[in-house]
Amino acid sequence: MGPAKSALAAALLVSASAFAQDIVLPDGKAKKLVENTCTECHGLDNVVNATLSGAQWRETVHDMVKRGATLSKDDIDTVVDYLTVYFAQEKVNVNTASAVELQSSLELTSAEADAIVNHRKENGKIKDIEALRKVAGLNGKKIDAKKDVLTF
Ligand code: HEC
């Protein structure tokens, strides 16, 4: 690793630990494991900002172990259970969810949730994420942030 690269790596490590200090995880059996293991390569922001279902958390933790996260078999299960309880987001069907569901699960304002419901009433089924982004009154960035939990 050249000097420029190692300076970059050091800067990344500093920013990762700064994130770790800001984010407080909920109490639970795997809190310490996640704090210690899941900050080796990136900040906890990666963990708390992920929009994954329970099944996707299981896949992701196994993926992290493949990448080098050091967790025993038992620890993997403990971590997956913990992340599923506190951070799993179940899928939201954009075409059948109520305005209240859309608002809370997609972190929208009530006006944005209403825009989706009205669009459905007037134009029928929303086909995919492209079509959803085009609904007047919606913020494309907010929609993209939730792309993993959307179904149509
Ligand atoms: C050995 C290094 C390493 C460790 C340890 C590690 N990760 Fe990661 N993680 C990565 C890398 C590299 C990426 C970026 C992958 C990518 O861009 O596709 C990533 C990305 C992620 C993402 C975002 C990917 C997505 O699908 O949204 C999540 C969530 C995540 N890690 C969770 C965890 C959790 C939970 C742990 C602790 C069990 C953990 N990571 C430990 C290397 C690691």
pLDDT, one tens digit per residue, over 54-96 is 889 999 999 999 999 999 999 999 999 999 999 988 889 999 9
Positive or negative CA dihedral for 139, 144, 149, 152?
A: positive
- The answer to whether the CB of 20 is under 6 A from ligand 1 is no
3 CB under 6 A from ligand 1? no
Say how many CA atoms lie within 13 Å of 138 toward its Cβ: 27
Q: Is the C-alpha dihedral spanning 30, 32, 38, 44 positive or negative?
A: positive
Question: What's the chain's average pLDDT?
Answer: 88
Question: Does any ligand 1 atom lie closer than 6 A to the CB of residue 124?
Answer: no
Query: How far apart (Å, rounded) are the C-alpha atoms in residues 95 and 47?
Result: 28
> Ligand 1 centre and the CA of 6: distance in Å?
20
Cβ–ligand 1 contact at 149 (below 6 Å): no
* Mean pLDDT value of segment 20-49: 90
